Amino acid sequence: MEKTCIILVGPTASGKTALAIEIAQYFKTEIISADSRQCFKELNIGVAKPSEQQLNTVTHHFINSHSIHDNVSAADFEQYALAATQQIFENNDVAVVCGGTGLYIKAFTDGLDEIAPTNSTIKNEIAEGFKQNGLVWLQNKVKEKDPLFWKKGETSNPHRLSRALEVFMSTGVSIIAQQKKIKKLRPFNIIKVGIEIDRQFLYETINNRVDVMQAEGLETEAKLLLPYKQLNALQTVGYRELFNFFDGTTNREKAYELIKQNTRHYAKRQLTWFKKDSEIVWLPKGEMLAYLKHKL
């Protein structure tokens, strides 16, 4: 059999973790997580990390692999995942990549463009400006300096905004203009599958999952992370809203309402991203394994 990487995608709360484990068990292989937050060992409940039992069932890579104090980028994931894939292929013909961070999956399958080097002083100034003045300041700076990114990029993600501003102020050219979109060839076959799920059912699942997170102690977890709220890893739905509650900006009930709302919005953005990829075959969870058995 040709070495093959199964890429399993879908929005948050669509059931990717359990399905990936089922697939990995059938093919007697391992899973590489493509989630930009589950890699941080300090984050658990708020990022819906697989349980200890699930992690013990199948070997997972890129889970609890980094600290919130590390700066982890899509380029870092690309290198990590390629190395993990090579390791898995030493003993298996199939590897499973599972996650909802679209840019990480794109980096792994297609590669990333080489962006011109940036100035570390400028990077530090932007980081300090964001720390002192917050997201709106960062958004206004990007809108003023790099209207091309503001039009086409992720305008609510502080990490992406900071990177865009850093690149523009260092090079004078928008990061968008530096993206050539030349696809790299990988030395293995890639099968992309996505979980097809009813939108209304997905939203109800998200709401229920937030209730479970609250019951499991999300608030306690967020309180322990409060001193680190300016770190990029904590610019995450589920934590940001509770930080505002701790600061007295909102009340508890409103904070949890916002977690549900912002998670639903995030799921919608994930679907929009993945639906642009014509290589993804969309199937209900119950049909996924049969399809993959047929393909392999």
pLDDT, one tens digit per residue, over 94-123 is 999 999 999 999 999 999 877 778 888 999
Nearest Cα residue to 74 out of 218, 175, 202 = 175
- DSSP state string for 128-171: HHHHHH-HHHHHHHHHHH-HHHHHHS-TT-HHHHHHHHHHHHHH
State the average pLDDT over residues 25-46.
98
Which ranges of 50-156 would DSSP assign to H, the alpha helix? 52-57, 74-88, 102-110, 120-133, 135-145, 147-152
More confidently predicted of 268 and 178: 268
Report residue 286 as tokens.
Answer: 């119950």
Helix (H, G, I), strand (E, B) or coil at 184: coil
Compute the distance between CA of residue 239 and CA of residue 143 in angstroms, rounded to an integer: 26
Compute the distance between CA of residue 259 and CA of residue 262 in angstroms, rounded to an integer: 5
State the average pLDDT over residues 228-241.
93
Average pLDDT, the chain: 94
Q: 187-213: per-residue pLDDT in tens?
A: 999 999 999 999 999 999 999 999 999
Strand 31-33: give its sheet, edge to edge. Answer: 60-61, 31-33, 94-98, 4-9, 189-195, 281-283
Is residue 32 predicted with pLDDT exceeding 80?
yes
More confidently predicted of 286 and 158: 286
State the average pLDDT over residues 115-132.
88
Q: 253-284: per-residue pLDDT in tens?
A: 999 999 999 999 999 999 999 999 999 999 99
- Going by pLDDT thresholds of 50, 70 and 90, the confidence category of residue 48 is very high
Compute the distance between CA of residue 164 and CA of residue 161 in angstroms, rounded to an integer: 5
Which residues have a Cβ under 8 Å from the Cβ of 124 and sit 6 or more positions away? none
